[in-house]
Every structure is written in structure tokens, then in C-alpha cells.
Amino acid sequence: MSIFKDISHLLHSNDCVILPDFGAFVLKSKSAYIEKNEFFPPSKYVTFNSMLKDNDGLLAKFISQERKISYKKSLKLISDDVKVLNEKLSEDLIFDTEYFGIFELKEKNILIFNPDFSINFDSSVFGLNSFTRKPIINISSKKTEEKNQFDTNYLLRYAAVFISVLALSYFGYVNYNDYLNNEKLKNIAIAQEKILENVQAATFNLGDLPTMNISVTAPVIKDNLTYYSVIAGAFRSKKNAEKQLNTLIINGYQASYTSINPKGLFRVAYARLKTRKEAVDLISKIKTSGQDAWLLIEN
């Protein structure tokens, strides 16, 4: 739907763009922050306010100028696109704008907007990506040179050369061992990474479930990729979260816990996928089977 491309273009120079008779897209600022050794620049991402629906003329005027049509035709085009959007949400319960986030229609016609945090609308930091600070290894070496007062004594000269060779070999051996130790520590840190906990959203009550003696390992991959997680439920009880995780794995899903959220809940995902399309397809499939699921974009 090309109207969202127009809205995305306007959001790069405006903090609020209203889609008449639907809602407003408002930019929200996020300060620069550091996560472990990775530095993230300031950013702006899109939020949605369904209360602001009155036409302010900004979008209609932009479309009129870009497509060289009258203002009246521009309003008609917007009205038709909003009608199509509402129909698609009613049928599919989910709609991907492709430019800044995904809409999801929940029960009782509650409309939820999931922003795409990977897109930065802050023009002041255009082109500035996150970067990782590599640890600096300080190697303190001490060279001791002893000058023999008896320069004519060849035996002492050869001894000094031999000692120098031994010293260089020693420092080379120490540096090589430091390198091996650092690599071992990295591998141990990866192997011992805790299963990420804590969740946003509401707590789902699964009731009393039968005890199942299944040992489940839910690995968490730490990298700089964006994951589109399809969430099955959020729990205050870790025991209930483990039961849900076991059930999903038994049913053939690549289930796991998701990234940390400060609200103190345990969030279980059907799967953590690398593309938005895969996530949208999986959510549609799950909802068709009568189950519930929602999208979480992890960066």
C-alpha cells in the first residue's frame, strides 16, 4: 500500500503524520545507550495514536504535490486506502506496513501497533550505525639491558645475546597463552549464557497442566541481528513458562525464551525468526488453528 511509503517519507521531516479516519503516526525519541561493549546512537521510532483521526491536511497536500493530482482527489485516494486497510485487518487480523511496523487486530477490535525499531527516523544521526568497542589489551613489557663494562669479553657478549633470545621467546609464549585463554573465556561465556527471561504484555493463565519429565534447552543466540519473535505467552511463574515451552516443542515448534524485558515476566516464543514475512506467515497459521500469538521485534 503506497500510502505508507508517503507517510514514511513525511516522518523523516515531521514528528506527527495523521492518516485521516484511521489514526496518527507519532515519532518517539530514544537516547543513545550502551549495551555491553556495543554503542547505539540516538534514534526515533514510530508509535501509533488511534485517537488522532481528524485530517490536518499534511498527508493530503503531500500526495497532491507528489502525484500531481487535485487536493480533492488526494483525499479520495486516502479514503479508499483506509477502507482497504480496514478490510485487510478484518480478514487477516494482521497488516505489515513494510516501512515502519506491523498492525495487529486483537479480540474486541483492539488495534495494536508493533513498531520496527531497526528503522531510525532521526535525521540528525543519518547514516550513524551502532558499533562495538573492541577491548584494549595492554601488554606491559619490561626490557632490561645490561651493558658489560668489559666490552672485550666475547663470552659475556654471546651470553647477553642468548638471554635476549630467551626473553623474546618467553614474551611470545606468554602472549600466545593470553590469546588462547581469551578465546577459551569467550567460548565459556557463550556456553554459559543464561536463558533470557522477563517479558512485556499480559500474563496468560494456563491452569493446571500435567507434569512432563522433559529436559528442554532453550538456547539464546547473542548477535547483532534483528529477530522477529512470535510470542505464545507471558508468565509470572517460571514453572508455567517451562510447561508452555515443553508443550510447544512437543508440538513441533522451534520454541524458546525471548530477550530480556524489565517487567519481570517470562516470555515464551513459538519461534525467533530472521524476517518479518516469516513471522507474519507463522502468526496467520497459528491464528487459523484457533490459537493466539503476537509479534515482538528484537534488536
Residues 6+ apart with CB under 8 A from 9: 62
Q: Are 17 and 59 in contact (CB under 8 A)?
A: yes
Distance CA 193, CA 4 (A): 40
Give the pLDDT confidence score for residue 236 in this predicted structure.
Answer: 86
H or E stretch at 294:
strand 294-298
Give the pLDDT confidence score for residue 91 in this predicted structure.
Answer: 92
Query: What's the chain's length in residues?
Result: 299
Q: Are 196 and 257 in contact (CB under 8 A)?
A: yes
Give the pLDDT confidence score for residue 259 in this predicted structure.
Answer: 73
Query: Which of 281, 273, 218 has the alpha carbon at shortest distance from 244?
Result: 218
Give the pLDDT confidence score for residue 203 in this predicted structure.
Answer: 39
Give the pLDDT confidence score for residue 258 in this predicted structure.
Answer: 86
Query: Which of 66, 57, 68, 55 has the alpha carbon at shortest distance from 22?
Result: 55
CA 236-242-248 angle, to 5 degrees, is 115
Give the pLDDT confidence score for residue 141 in this predicted structure.
Answer: 44
Crossing angle of helices 58-67 and 71-92, in 10° steps, is: 110
In the sheet that 38-40 helps form, which strands lie side by side, from edge to edge?
A: 33-35, 38-40, 131-132
Give the pLDDT confidence score for residue 32 in this predicted structure.
Answer: 82
Give the pLDDT confidence score for residue 234 in this predicted structure.
Answer: 86
pLDDT per residue, tens digit, the chain (299 aa), is 789 999 999 999 999 999 999 999 999 988 887 877 776 788 899 999 999 999 999 999 999 999 999 999 999 999 999 999 999 999 999 999 999 999 999 987 899 999 998 889 887 776 666 667 666 655 444 444 444 454 445 555 655 555 554 555 555 554 556 655 556 545 544 544 443 443 333 334 445 545 555 444 444 445 557 889 999 988 888 899 899 999 999 999 999 988 766 678 888 999 999 899 999 999 999 998 888 898 888 87
Buried/exposed code over 153-191 (b: 16+ C-beta within 10 A; e: otherwise): eeeeeeeeeeeeeeeeeeeeeeeeeeeeeeeeeeeeeee
